[in-house]
Structure 1
Amino acid sequence: MTGSEFYRVEPTARSSWRLAVLMGANSRTYKFALGRALLDLARQGHAEVPLRDLAVPYAMSLVEHAAQAPQASERTPVGTADFLAVVAAESAESRRLGTPTDRLLDAAVRSLPAMVLRKFHNLRGIPELPHRFYEVTGSGGSAGGSGGPGRRIVRLTDDLHRVARSEQAVGLRAELGARWSIVENSFATGIGRSLIADGFTVDRATSALTDTQRRRSVAGVTEAVIGFQHGRCLTCGDDITPECRTVVDHVFPYALMKRYGSVSGWPGPDLDQLWNLAPAHETCNSAKSDRLPTDDELRRLARRNTAIMESPVPLKRTLQLTLEPPGNGRRPGGWPEFLREVSGLVS
């Protein structure tokens, strides 16, 4: 499922937002800091903000996260004049003050237009996101103009306000946080080494994704994958909103492994892994119990897993490992064919 196909399933501003946050490239984490600042400012009712005011929460988010994990891939060089170098140098004093130092704020104001503001709406595979969430105006006229960055205004669009005030707004912020944590973890362990090889496992007791190498919980399964389901329950297809009690459902019931294992051994894939786990309403999950998935549920699961595999590592690699048959071959039918094979084992 390409970005365009993901959007066609639900052509809304929320889907455009999820394309940017969940399926864009991640060489640094700037877009997550920008996304958090935009959501918060829109939720507070701002129609437009000076670039310098946007730079404050943007910079402080990076200060907060940089204290815990790297914010750039090891393949991305960070020189002494680089913005992340300034973040590192000014983070202790900024945390003490509770606001960016003058040096950090000036660096954020200078770097924002040419870096993340220019690139947030871009996505591999499609020319630009179907919705725009801000416009930069003022001296120079655009994010790439020649006017002084301190005189620029960031106008928050109606689409951003709709996203920030939607019934899924709390979930969207949680999705962004989970994605940020996943990317940080991939930087910390080194993209191209352990996570490429091993992906994530799932801690069944906590429903959390766990770094296979370091055995460290990274993010909750629900927060990590619900955006790829368009924020919807995989069982009924309706929105999951803050007032809904949510559980992580085994689409193919976990009881199958015990039932078949007690007779001749379960011949299928591990049902306790990410490919088979999906957020659902607690009421839907209770009603479903241990029944087999319906055709609609299998279609939604195949579509969800295909969307995850359009996102950057390591979630992509986690599902690739499941999809690869013995002998390192490839299933030409992808997830629909894989799920049909699993269904055939219990039909």
Structure 2
Amino acid sequence: MTAESFYRTEPSEGAAWRLAILMGANTRTYKFALGSALLACAERGEDAAPLRDVAAAYAMGVVGRRADAPQAPAGTSGGDADFLAVAAREGEESRRLGRPTEALLDAAVRTMPGMVMRKFHNLRGGTEVPHRFYELTGRGDGRVVRLTPQLRRLARDGQACVLRAELEARWSIVESSFSAAVGRSLMSDGVRVDWGTLTLTDRRRRRSVARVGDALIGFQHGRCLICGDGIVPGDGMAVDHVFPYALMRRFGGVSAWSGPDLDVIWNLAPAHPRCNGAKSDRLPTAAELAGLARRNEAIMGSPHPLKKTLELTLAAAGGGGWPEFLRAVQTVCC
């Protein structure tokens, strides 16, 4: 699924935000830190903030991540003046203070406009997301970040909490793919699901990467795959096996299950707990299969490693697309 088709499926400001966060190119993680700072401003009801205030939240977002979670692939430093080099030097003291040091804050203010703010709305291929979420105005020390009505509406409509969880999950996934210790296996093997913790993990080291629901829900436009309504804070979130896992036990007890593994992310979909409970072990409807195909195609339009995980599933089935793959699984079940 292309960015354009993802947006056409549900043309909204939330879809445009998800394009930038979930489906944009990820060569560094600056845009996640900026996105988190912007959401914080919007949640506070602000329509504008001095660049220096946004830069403070941005800088702490970068240095506040885990010490073993790099912000960029190895070998991409821009030298001593590079923001990440300053963050590495000033990170420990900034965390101790609970605010960025002056050196870190100055580096963030200096580099943010060209390094991340100019690129936040960009998609791969030279296009932009359909909505803009901020504008940088003014000059020098008087520069101001103005939140657009689109971003303020997202916060006012109660979506900021959901979008933040999606952003944090994507941030963790991308960071893990930059780690020399974990990234190689994520890129070659994709991720697996740890059902004890409901997290995605590195297949080789079983290291937790991100929560399953938060990592996948954005690709469903924040909606339950079963009923189609939005999953909002307070609803809770279940992870549904679209083709019920019981099929593997049922067929395995009679002859042998000849279909693919049903306990992996191509077959998992966030849903309302009440919808998941009512569905139980029934087979998916045509509408649910169509929704699952669209969701998986959207993941295929995102950068690694979720994309790689689904690529491996299709390759093991001999290629083809998601509608064909799901029809083949349905044939095995009938």
TM-score interval w.r.t. the shorter chain?
over 0.9
1:165 and 1:315 map into 2 onto residues whose CA distance is 30
Say if 2:329 is the partner of 1:338.
no
CA distance in 2, matches of 1:203, 1:177: 19
Moved more, 152-161 or 205-214: 205-214
User: In structure 2, what is the Cα distance between the partners aligned to 1:226 and 1:33?
Assistant: 20
- Counting only pairs closer than 5 Å after superposition, residues 16-95 of structure 1 correspond to structure 2 as 16-65=16-65, 67-95=67-95
Q: 5 Å matches for 1:160-171?
A: 160-171=151-162
Secondary structure at the counterpart of residue 119 of structure 1 = coil
1:1-347 matches, cutoff 5 A = 1-65=1-65, 67-125=67-125, 127-139=127-139, 148=140, 150-189=141-180, 193-325=184-316, 329-331=318-320, 334-347=321-334
Q: Percent same amino acid among aligned pairs?
A: 64
Aligned-residue Cα RMSD (Å) equals 1.4
Matched positions, count: 334
SS state at 1:218 partner: strand
Q: Deviations over 1:34-79 (max 9, x none)?
A: 0000001111011111111111100011011162411001252342
Take 2:162 and 2:24, find their aligned partners in 1: how far apart are those partners?
19
Instruction: State the distance in 1 between where 2:116 and 2:275 align.
Output: 40
Q: Residues 75 and 275 from structure 1, CA distance in 2 versus in 1: closer, same or farther, beyond 3 angstroms?
A: farther
After superposition, what is the alpha-carbon deviation per residue over 1:183-210, rounded to whole angstroms, capped at 9, x for unaligned? Answer: 1111114687321210001012222101
> Do 1:248 and 1:279's aligned partners in 2 also have CA atoms closer than 8 Å?
yes
Q: Deviations over 1:224-268 (max 9, x none)?
A: 000000000001110001121321000000000000001111000
- After superposition, what is the alpha-carbon deviation per residue over 1:307-346, rounded to whole angstroms, capped at 9, x for unaligned? 00110000000111111136xx522xx0000000000001
Please tell me whether the aligned partners of residues 3 and 125 of structure 1 are also in contact (alpha carbons under 8 angstroms). no
Pick which of 107-116 and 71-80 moved more.
71-80
Q: Are the counterparts in 2 of residues 229 and 304 from structure 1 also a CA contact under 8 Å?
A: yes
| 1:142 counterpart residue number | none
Which residue of 2 is the match for residue 143 of structure 1?
Answer: none
4+ residue runs of structure 1 moved beyond 4 angstroms? none
Question: CA separation of 1:339/1:126 partners in 2, compared to 1, >3 Å: closer, same or farther?
Answer: farther
Assess if the C-alpha contact under 8 Å between 1:74 and 1:190 holds in 2.
no
TM-score, normalised via structure 2 length? 0.97
Q: Distance in 2 between matches of 1:152 and 1:41?
A: 16
User: Do the aligned partners of 1:37 and 1:58 also contact (CA within 8 Å) in 2?
Assistant: yes
TM-score, normalising length: structure 1: 0.93
Deviation at 1:126, TM superposition (A): 6.1
- Which letter does structure 1 place at the counterpart of 2:332? L
Give 1:287 deviation, angstroms: 1.0
Quick check: 2:187–2:305 contact (8 Å CA) kept in 1? yes
